[in-house]
Structures are given as C-alpha cells and as structure tokens.
C-alpha cells in the first residue's frame, strides 16, 4: 500500500516492491533469498559462533607443538624439556592477545579487529596496513588449509596426486557455496567437524593425562625417525626461534573481533564469551599436547605428526579411536579455511564502506552475507592454489606474517586507546569514529599489558620475516604495500568523485536551449523508421548519417530515403577503409566541436532486437560499440531505439 | 569535397570521410590498412597464385605413393608392380577433375568451386552439403598439416613433445597473422618454401630418372623394415583400396576454383593456367615418385618415407641435397595449411553473402582479405588441435571425405550443366544465378566425362567412409548434416528478419502522441540533475524512481529531491530482498502494461562516466544491465545521459 507524502510541493510516493525472487538454480544452490528484515534471525549463538570462528585457531593445535619441537630437537633430545615453558609463554601471550581483543569487542560492537582499532587509535596509514595484512592472511589461510587438507588426502591415496589442483579448487568452491548459504546455515554445517575434533582431542588428551596420573602412561612405541641435523647448543636464539614458531597457535584468534555483528544480541557479550571459550580451549589443547608429548617422548618428524604419536599411545594402538582422531584432525585443517570465509568478506565490507575497496563489496547478497567478498576470496585463493600448484611447502612461508602484523597494530592501538582513556577526566566521555571512550582508573596497567603484547607480537613477526624471507615472505612484504597503495587509489577516486558530483555550492546544470539530433542509419527499414519517428519527438534539427562501404548499397539507400525519409537531410560518408565506427565518430566529433554551451547533441541509434539473444551473433554490434566510444564525450546523449522482431 | 544532390525535396550530402587509420600495433602486425580502391593492386599473378593455392595439392606427393604401396605390400612384394598402373589411373582422375574445375573457373569468374556449381545446377540442399563438407575439410587441412609438421619436428627433437599442442597452435596463429597481411604479401612469403620444394623434388626425380636412363640407378640401400602382415592375395578389392588411398593426391585441387577473384585480370584465364600448371606438376611429381619407387625397390614403412628412400638413393647418401629435400618436404607439409587459409575465408564469405553464415564474414578487413574468416579458421583449427592433442593419427581419418564429397557434387553439377547446355538451341544464352550458359556441341561427351568423374570420386568417398568409419570418419558424417542444419537456421533467420523489416506494403510507424519519462535515480547529485534537465526536454510527464535498500539513504535522497527535484514526482520503492534491477523492471513493466498504442515510454538513466574506464570496476553497472533487460520490451526507449567526471 503506497504511502504518499507531500512536502514543499514535491510528491513522494513510497511503497514496497512486490517482486518475489523466483525459484531458480540459485535458490537450489544457496537457498531462498532472505529479506533484509530477516537479518536478526540470521544471527548466530555462541555454539555455532565457536564453530564458525574458531576452526582456524583450534586447527593450529594440530601442528603448533611440532613446530616448537622441530626447532628444539636441533639442540638434541635434552632441549625438548624447554617445550613446556615455551608453550606456557605462548599461552600467556595468547591471554594478552585475547584480553586485548575482548576489550576491542566490547569497545567496537560494530565489528572491530585490527583494522578498526588501528583506524580509530593509530590513524589512516596503520589501519590500511592492518587491513592489507589481514586480507592477505585470510586469503593465505584458505589456500594453505585447503592445500594441507589435500596433501593429507594425497599421502593416503597417491593416485589422486595429479588432480590435487582441481581437487583443492573444488574444495574452495564448495566452501564458497556453503558460505553463500548464510552464516547460520554454514555454521550449522561446520559445527559438526569442529565439535568432532574438539571431542576427539579432549578424549585423547584426557585419556593420556589420566594414564599419566595413574602412572600407566607408556612412551611412544616405534617413534618415527627424527630429522638428521648438526647438533646445536641451547642458546637464547634457539629458544626464541622455538617460541616464535610455536606462536602459529595464535593464528585465527582475531577472527571473532571482526565478526561481532554476526552474533545474536547482546552481541558484544556473546562474541566475548565465545572468544574466551575459544582461547581457553586453544590454550588447554595446546598445553595438553605439549605436556603429553614431553611425557611420552614424542619425536618431531616429517613422517608422523605429534598428534598421531600421541593418539596411538593414548589409545594404545591404531584402533577406531586413533583413526577418528586423525580423521577429525584432517577435517579441521580443511575447515580452518572457513574462518577466513567468515572474516574476509566482513573485513572487506568494512574497508569498502570506508571507501578503500570497491563499494559493491558492501552489498549483502540474497542470503544476507557479503556474497561478493565470499566469491572474491574463493577466486583469489583458487588463483593462488593454481599458481603454487597446491604445494603447502611453497605457501606456508607466506603465512602468519600478516596475522602478527595485525596483532601488533591492534595491541598498539589498544595501548594508545588506554593512554587516551587515562587522560580523560573520570566522568568524561569521548565519542570516537567507531566507539565511545570512557575513563578507566587502571589505564596504566592495561596500557603496559597491551604495549608488552605489541612488543611480543612485533618480535614474533620480525623473527618470521627474517627466517622465512627468502622462502617467500618477501612476497607478503611486497604485497602489503601494494594493497595499501590500491586502497589509497580507490579512496582518492571515491573522494574525487564525491567532490565532482556534490551539490554543495552548485548552481544547477545549464538550461538546454537547442537539441541537435544525429540519426545513424545502416539501411532504411522498419527499425530505421521507428527511430526516425522517435527522433522527430526530440527536435526538428535532425540529420541522418550513413557510412558507405558499398556504393551500390548506398544508391539503394538514397532511393529509399527519398520516399521514406520524411524530407530529413541525409549525409552519406564514404569510408575508403571499410571502417564504420571511426568515420561516424569523426563526423559526430566535428559536430560536437561546433556545439554551443546550451546545445546538446543526441545520437539516435536504431537497434533491432532479434527474437533470441544469440541471434546477435549474426549481426554487427555497432550500436553497443558506438555507445562505449561516445560515453566519454561531454554534451552527447545516446538513445537506442529498439525495434523488436516479433 | 561534399557533393550535394537535391531530389524530390530531400537533401543528400555525399562526401568521403577523412578518417586516416592511425599507426598502431595492428598496423605493425598486419600492415597499413588498404583502401577499397586498392583492391586491384592486391590481385596476384600466376607465380604467386601457384604458391598460395597449390601448396596443399603439391604436399600430397609427399605421402600419396606411400599410401598406395602400404595397401599393395599386404599382398607381398610382387603386388607392388600394380602401383604404377594405379597411379596412372589416379592421374587420369586428376585430369578429369582438373578439366571439370577448369570449366568451372571459366563459367564462374566470381569464384566457383563445388558450392557455387552445386547451388546453380543441383539446388539448395546439395550446395549446402558441398559448402559444409568443404568448410570441414579446410579446417581439417589446417589441423592435420600443422600437426604433421609438428610431428616431424618432435620426431627430430623428442624433448619438445610435451609442448606440441602450444607449438602447433602457435604455428596456426602465425599463419593467421601472415594471411591477415593480405593475399599478395602472404603469397610472396609462402612462394619461397613452395618453389623450394618444387625445385628439390624436380632435382631428385630428374636425377633419379637420368640415372635410370643411363642404367646407373641403384636400389635402396638398407631399406627400412616393412610392416608385418598376413599375406593377402591380389584381389580387385585390394587394387581398389590402393587406388582410393592414392587419391589423397587430389586433395587441394579445388582451392583455385574458390579463389578466382584473387587473381589479376583476366582472372579466369590466369586462374585456369595456374590450375593447369598445378595439375601438371602434381601429376608429374606423383608419377615420377611412384615410377622411381618401383625401379629402386622402395619399401613402404612407418619409419622412413618413400621420399626419403628416393632422395638418399638418387642423391647417393645423406648429403646436403638429401637434407634439403627432407627439409623442403617438412616445410611444404606445414604450408599445406595455407591453402585452407586461402580457401576457407573465401568460401565462408560466399556462404555468408547467400545468408547461410553470419553476414559479418563478408566484411573485408584492413588488408582487403576476409579477416573474420581467417580468424575463425585459426580459432576452430586450434580448438581441434587442442581437443585431439595435435595427434596426426587421430585427425587423419577425418580428412579427405569432405573433399571427395565436394568433388562428387561439383562434377555432378557440371554434368547437369552440360545437360542443360545441350538442350539450349545453338545461339541461345541463359543467364543463371552466377554464370551465363551457352550451347556446346560436345555437351554429351563432356557430360559423360564429368559423370564418370563423379562416379569415381563418389566411389572413393564411399571406400573412405567405410574403411575409416570407426576411426573417426563418423564424426564428419555427423558434422556435415549439423553444419547444413546451422546454415538453414541462419538462412531462415535472415529471411525472417528481412520480412519483418521490409517496407513493402508498410504504412509507416504509428505517430507518437504521448511520451512518458521514467528517471531512474540512485542518488541526487550533479549527474542526476543533468539527466533530469535532459528529461525535461522530452516531456512534462516525468516520474523519478528510486529503489531503496537502505532507509537512511532514502531519507537523505527525499530531502535532497525536495530542494533539487524541480517538483517532479518521486517514487521510492522499498526492495526487501536488496535487489535493484528486478523491482525497477517490475515498476517499468507495470507502467508499460498500461501503455496506449501511441504512447512511448522513455527510461532516462543518469550514467556518470569516470575518467578511466577501469574505474567502472568500482561501481555497479546498473545502467548497462537495465538496458540489456529492457531491450526486449516493445515501446520502451532507453536513454543514457552521461555525466563525465572531468
């Protein structure tokens, strides 16, 4: 039912469009379109939220302990005792990072994360770096986790090795479709493998611990062959290297802070509790694995993972429980990609809303997710997988630098925020771009904690960069500034455009006092006459133009024009090079050059429309090309007068 | 200087467009554009004509003798003596076919060949079959000859085998570019390898023959291992099989008849003399090779060709002369593709002019060749090479059926023509579609010769079809009817279109008595105002429509419209599914449904044009999509009002 408002003489009718999206292959694939008003129903609770956002973080427990042991093993078996203290330090860092993001989630209920924190507390340039590094890392998360999942499959079934690239790209596309179905539905689908992994890990660690308590814990039977290496001495550098390697456990922790708006109200509270759960589970699993690895004497090896050694020791052999644990681990490694599917589109929509990425990325598709961001992520990740031929070894050095860069910026931003909060008077409130700032009596302590966290994550990032530089980290170091430059270019385009379209201090367009019409004709037929009829409603100053490549044809045209042309002037332009567009454009430009300021030139192009679109293959698409070339000339309007062949 | 004619009150200005094609990468690649008036300078003489049109036919001497000997060898070495009589029979068939095409060339100076002869003498259906089979065969000629050239290279350098497909496609594209440079220039480039081959073959055969005369001819030293086979007895079937295999020597003979217009005046005479030369050379080389092969005791083998055995015997070892002969043979095998590049575009232009293929194929590009046909041939042949992975063995069974089908139709057509000529009175002339028919006193003899020729070529075609059916000939049997069906569909589209556009008994379009204007706006800015200003020149009945997905944005728009909207009615359509196009289309359709017969609905779309085309990636392309969807609705005209961001 339309509502009519009439204000200051302008009638405004408002009504709801009745268009119902029809059932189609799209609704079969991704589900029925959802109304904008349905958005609150699509919000997710804590259980699903944990599955959606935690899979990346939790999956890292599958390899983080191995990463520490590998480094320590270089100094001999004795050095392995340092694994537990190092893991404790990493969990402490995890706690700091979690605390920082918890504050962020409450401060920025519209979705925060490193980009927003940096934007509001550090300024434009750091925020762009945070955005660029996170986007890069989300793309790498998809590529690496899917490639590692495929690698697990190809080591089980070597015959599928030649098909690994299409297989990996297929998985990326399946995840794309699942995510296009909406957060709620994809969360429900993905909750199963996530909780399955969690259950198997708790079971394995729990059974290991209880055996340890009762003194019945065995050491690993037939431990795999460790790496051959030159024995190093235990040094601070070695310990730091092991520490930084182990911090891969932290990747994915930032995802929830970007995804706050996906949660049910009270959003911040729900997201915050989910984050605490996630960190607690991550810390527990990680410490549990490291502790048991030490007690069982698990050996870091390229042929068998620590998880596998742990599982077959705790479950006493390769029975069902062992197989389930390994299967769950493989699944969660692939599922880690899903966290990126949740994070990338939200972050790119935030960046697009601020004018740093193409605005269409803010568009929410039929299932209320940022579908263009999801598709873009799938395409870029597929390209990356294809370029690197789904090789995990080639992709992994690119990974994690971006995450730690964004951690550093987020923590530094929070530290600066505490500084600002400390310098407010107790009752004062300050409205910032994306949050409200209040005084906090313990600002100094919090600032120190976040500052220390920032130093730690910056250190880890530097170690990563240096140790992996030649293996491919340089690519990320190159990519982030390129992305930042692209952000700036896009931003200046939008700013420029807004300035040019702005109505501030604009006097209105000049009046049109004269219309000149050029009717481009290739022959005289019913379509031409329909266009001529339309042209007559525009102006009396009409010129028909025909480009002639065949003198015989031009003769026929002249004759027909005399009887049907309504007395309109006809210009026949001979085209010695058989070109069509160029002479016509030349003629139009000639007319346009003599244009008065208040004169407008209208080009009328008859366009006959065949019954089926593919019939267009049988005809020259002159009208379309002409439009594309004339668009850039000021003062020219192009009119297609379609003539439908019934 | 414009000439002005004024007849019956209509002014017609005629002048030549001054547009000079600029130098660009295209002119670098294929040469400066040529004027239509330069066409006579592009005509070729007999020497170049032989190189352009004969390479396919002459290249067949490189394998035709082998094909005969392979079949005969199945009945033991004694059977090889039949090779010479069989070759003589093939040369007799060549003479008949040549005679027939010679008559065709003189009867159809506008370019004849099987398609035109069948069209004018047998009717529409046979002519379409002739056209389809020739097109198929031209495509196969390119694929087979390039694949065989690449096979020669890969047998010399096995390391390039993995790159054979890109290599072959690269060759096809190089030939495409050479042919896009124009007949004259490509002919000059290709004359060198053709005449080089001719010279080496004449030298080899001449030296072989003189050794034979002087009694110093050796037999082949170390003859290659022949095929292992079950000895068959000499039967009529065996002889016929050998005969039909040897007729591959005839492929390519038809090319000149399609290309008559490429020759200098007097066209028919020049083309005819070239055809006679070509057939004479072809016959001589073919007989010479077969004769010497018999005298030297050459063995058919898959590891060494007869030409190679001949050359190393005649030139006494593998010296320079031997190497040159082999190199020339490899070159001419690749060059055979060029005959198809000369024939395919001309034939497809003839078919397009008759409305059986898309009309744009009749367009002559900047170098006065049918460039679209050349590009189409290159693309289809590349696709074929890719599908068959450049395998000669997979492609060769598809080959030659089309040629013999067209030979049969051409000869049958000529036979019917003689019948018609015989039934004219001596002084009578009959104007046919593409030629003038005159009485010929020896019509009966000529009719019998062409009829006999048709029977022979039909027999060969049948033998080919039966013996190669399972190897892939079925594909051609399937393809030709599909092509014929496509021809018919295209033809009926053009006929239908002409009927719908025809002005015969047309009373002119109805007058427009009312214009309704719908102005689609996404915001209120300078571009919108420019469009509004334009809309005002069209009508007073204007409605602005805004599709609303964001209520806040709609509020702003309402407010701005009140001050800038000039009192024009605004309709705000809420789009609950965040769709844009569909609700707008629905609204327009609603208005269009109430349209009066004399009313026209104009949709005005403001389109801001960014400075650089790639900026469009940053914006939704709504205007473009809207146009595509509205084109099919009668009575609706779409106007883009561009607003250039300076």
Chain B residues in contact with A497 by the CB 8 A cut-off are: 608, 610, 645
**How many angstroms separate the CA atoms of B83 and B89, rounded?**
10
Give A349-387 pLDDT, tens digit per residue.
Answer: 999 999 999 988 888 888 888 999 999 999 999 999 999
Predicted confidence at residue A87, as pLDDT, reads 94
Give A481-532 pLDDT, tens digit per residue.
Answer: 999 999 999 999 888 888 888 888 887 777 888 889 999 998 898 888 989 9
A198-202, A400-404, A417-421, A552-556, range with greatest mean pLDDT: A198-202
Average pLDDT for residues A231-256, to the nearest whole number?
84
Closest CA to A381 of A100, A112, A625, A174: A174
Cβ of B526 within 8 Å of Cβ of A534? The answer is no
pLDDT at A288 over 90: yes
- Min Cα separation A389/chain B (Å): 18
ipTM tops the 0.90 cut: no
Asked whether the beta carbons of B609 and A632 are under 8 A apart, the reply is yes
Counted across chains A and B, CB pairs separated by less than 8 A come out at 283
DSSP H/E element including B430: strand B429-431
Closest CA to B278 of B51, B44, B521: B51
Beta carbons within 8 Å of B614's beta carbon, 6+ residues apart: none
Going by pLDDT thresholds of 50, 70 and 90, the confidence category of residue A612 is: confident
Predicted confidence at residue A1, as pLDDT, reads 45
Shortest CA distance from B505: residue in chain A: A526
**How many angstroms separate the CA atoms of A352 and A363, rounded?**
10
pLDDT at A269 over 60: yes
Cβ of A631 within 8 Å of Cβ of B641? The answer is no
Domains of chain B with bracketed CATH: 47-496 (1.20.1740.10), 514-644 (3.40.50.620)
**How many angstroms separate the CA atoms of B171 and A297, rounded?**
63
Cβ of A570 within 8 Å of Cβ of B538? The answer is no
Cβ of B609 within 8 Å of Cβ of A586? The answer is no
DSSP H/E element including A643: strand A636-644
Cβ of A35 within 8 Å of Cβ of B534? The answer is no
Cα–Cα distances (Å) from A639 to A166, B296, B439, B520, in that order, read 46, 77, 58, 15
Give A402-439 pLDDT, tens digit per residue.
Answer: 888 999 999 999 899 988 888 888 888 888 777 788 88
Buried b / exposed e along A183-209 (16+ C-beta atoms within 10 A): bbbbbbebbebbebbbebbebbbebbb
Sole residue written with tokens 């194929």: B361
Predicted confidence at residue A154, as pLDDT, reads 80
Sole residue written with tokens 């070597």: A158
Cβ of A578 within 8 Å of Cβ of B364? The answer is yes
Closest CA to B547 of B600, B493, B585, B502: B585
Number of Cβ within 10 Å of residue A39's Cβ equals: 12
Cβ of B571 within 8 Å of Cβ of A16? The answer is no
**How many angstroms separate the CA atoms of B618 and B606, rounded?**
17
Q: What is the pTM of this model?
A: 0.78
Average pLDDT for residues A457-465, to the nearest whole number?
87
Predicted confidence at residue B544, as pLDDT, reads 93
Asked whether the beta carbons of A138 and A338 are under 8 A apart, the reply is no
B3: left (phi over 0), alpha (psi -120 to 50) or beta: beta
Mutation target vs B (from A35, A362, A548, A642; most B CBs, 10 A cutoff): A642
Asked whether the beta carbons of B589 and B547 are under 8 A apart, the reply is no
Cα–Cα distances (Å) from B606 to B68, B557, B558, in that order, read 72, 15, 18
Shortest CA distance from B586: residue in chain A: A19
Chain B residues in contact with A360 by the CB 8 A cut-off are: 618-620
Beta carbons within 8 Å of B590's beta carbon, 6+ residues apart: none
Of B360, B586, B607, the CB nearest to A18: B586
Going by pLDDT thresholds of 50, 70 and 90, the confidence category of residue A125 is: very high
Chain A residues in contact with B502 by the CB 8 A cut-off are: 525-526
- Min Cα separation A170/chain B (Å): 23
DSSP H/E element including A637: strand A636-644
Output the average pLDDT for chain A. Answer: 86
Number of Cβ within 10 Å of residue A512's Cβ equals: 15
Length of chain A: 646
Of B503, B564, B646, the CB nearest to A525: B503
Asked whether the beta carbons of B542 and B591 are under 8 A apart, the reply is no
What tokens appear for A444 in the block?
């100094």
Predicted confidence at residue B196, as pLDDT, reads 93
Cβ of A16 within 8 Å of Cβ of B497? The answer is no
**How many angstroms separate the CA atoms of B341 and B181, rounded?**
12
- Concatenated DSSP letters for A188-231? HHHHHHHHHHHHHHHHHHHHHHHHHHTT-PPPPSSPPP----PP
Asked whether the beta carbons of A207 and A315 are under 8 A apart, the reply is yes
What tokens appear for A408 in the block?
């550093």
Predicted confidence at residue A333, as pLDDT, reads 86
pLDDT at A141 over 80: yes
Beta carbons within 8 Å of B537's beta carbon, 6+ residues apart: A512, A515, A538, A600
Predicted confidence at residue A166, as pLDDT, reads 93
**How many angstroms separate the CA atoms of B305 and B303, rounded?**
7
Asked whether the beta carbons of A251 and A278 are under 8 A apart, the reply is no
Cβ of A503 within 8 Å of Cβ of B632? The answer is no
Shortest CA distance from A363: residue in chain B: B578
Cβ of A573 within 8 Å of Cβ of B15? The answer is yes
Cα–Cα distances (Å) from B271 to A119, A143, B108, B410, B634, in that order, read 78, 63, 11, 17, 52
Q: Which segments of chain B have a pLDDT < 50? A: 1
Going by pLDDT thresholds of 50, 70 and 90, the confidence category of residue A226 is: low
Phi, psi of A306 (to 5 degrees): -60, -40
Chain B residues in contact with A490 by the CB 8 A cut-off are: 618
Beta carbons within 8 Å of A556's beta carbon, 6+ residues apart: none
CA atoms within 13 A on the CB side of B31: 19
Of A360, A530, A640, the CB nearest to B509: A530
- Min Cα separation B472/chain A (Å): 29
**How many angstroms separate the CA atoms of B52 and B49, rounded?**
5
């Amino acid at each position: 039912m339309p509502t009519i408002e009439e204000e200051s003489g302008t009638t405004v009718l408002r009504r709801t469009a009745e268009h119902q999206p029809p059932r189609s292959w799209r609704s079969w694939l991704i589900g029925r379109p959802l109304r904008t008003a349905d958005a609150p129903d699509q919000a997710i609770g804590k259980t699903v939220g944990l599955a959606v956002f935690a899979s990346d973080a939790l999956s890292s427990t599958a390899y983080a302990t191995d990463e520490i042991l590998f480094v320590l093993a270089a100094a001999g078996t004795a050095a392995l005792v340092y694994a537990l203290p190092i893991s404790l330090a990493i969990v402490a860092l995890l706690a700091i990072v979690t605390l920082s993001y918890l504050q962020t989630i409450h401060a920025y209920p519209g979705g925060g994360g490193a980009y927003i924190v940096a934007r509001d507390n550090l300024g434009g340039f750091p925020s762009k770096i945070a955005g660029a590094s996170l986007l890069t890392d989300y793309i790498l998360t998809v590529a690496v986790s899917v490639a590692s999942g495929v690698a697990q499959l190809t080591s089980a079934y070597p015959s599928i090795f030649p098909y690994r690239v299409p297989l990996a790209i297929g998985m990326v596309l399946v995840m794309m479709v699942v995510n296009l179905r909406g957060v709620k539905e994809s969360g429900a689908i993905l909750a199963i493998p996530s909780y399955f992994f969690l259950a198997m890990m708790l079971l394995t660690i729990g059974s290991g611990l209880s055996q340890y308590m009762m003194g019945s814990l065995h050491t690993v039977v037939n431990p795999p062959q460790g790496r051959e290496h030159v024995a190093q001495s235990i040094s601070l550098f070695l310990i730091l290297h092991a520490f930084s390697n182990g911090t891969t456990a932290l990747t994915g922790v930032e995802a929830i802070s970007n995804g706050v708006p996906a949660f049910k109200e009270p959003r911040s509270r729900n997201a915050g509790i989910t984050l605490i759960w996630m960190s607690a589970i991550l810390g527990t699993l990680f410490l549990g694995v490291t502790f048991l690895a030490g007690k069982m004497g698990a050996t870091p090896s390229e042929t068998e993972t620590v998880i596998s050694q742990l599982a077959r020791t705790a479950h006493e052999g390769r029975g069902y429980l062992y197989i389930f644990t390994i299967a769950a681990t493989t699944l969660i490694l692939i599922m880690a990609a899903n966290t990126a599917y949740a994070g990338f589109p939200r972050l790119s929509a935030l960046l697009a809303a601020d004018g740093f990425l193409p605005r269409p990325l803010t568009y929410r598709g039929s299932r209320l997710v940022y579908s263009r961001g999801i598709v873009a992520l799938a395409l870029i990740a597929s390209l990356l997988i294809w370029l690197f031929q789904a090789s995990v070894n080639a992709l992994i050095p690119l990974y994690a630098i971006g995450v730690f860069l964004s951690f550093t910026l987020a923590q530094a931003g929070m530290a600066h925020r505490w500084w600002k909060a400390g310098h407010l008077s107790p009752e004062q409130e300050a409205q910032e771009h994306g949050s409200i700032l209040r005084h906090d009596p313990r600002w100094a302590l919090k600032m120190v904690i976040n500052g220390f966290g920032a130093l730690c994550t910056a250190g880890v990032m530097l170690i990563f960069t240096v140790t992996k530089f030649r293996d491919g980290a340089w690519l990320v170091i190159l990519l982030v500034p390129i992305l930042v430059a692209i952000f700036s270019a896009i931003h200046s385009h939008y700013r420029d455009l807004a300035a040019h379209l702005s109505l501030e201090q604009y006097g209105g367009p000049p009046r049109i006092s004269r219309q000149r019409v050029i009717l481009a004709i290739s022959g005289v037929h019913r379509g031409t006459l329909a266009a001529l009829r339309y042209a007559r409603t525009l102006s009396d100053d009409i010129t028909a133009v025909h480009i002639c490549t065949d003198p015989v044809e031009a003769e026929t045209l002249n004759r027909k024009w005399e009887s049907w042309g309504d007395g309109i002037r006809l210009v026949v332009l001979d085209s010695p090079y058989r070109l069509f567009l160029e002479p016509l454009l030349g003629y139009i430009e000639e007319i346009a050059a003599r244009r008065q300021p208040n004169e407008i030139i209208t080009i009328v192009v008859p366009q006959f429309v065949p019954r089926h679109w593919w019939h267009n293959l049988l005809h020259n698409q002159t009208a379309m090309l002409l439009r594309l070339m004339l668009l850039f000339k000021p003062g020219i309007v192009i009119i297609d007068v379609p003539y439908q062949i019934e």
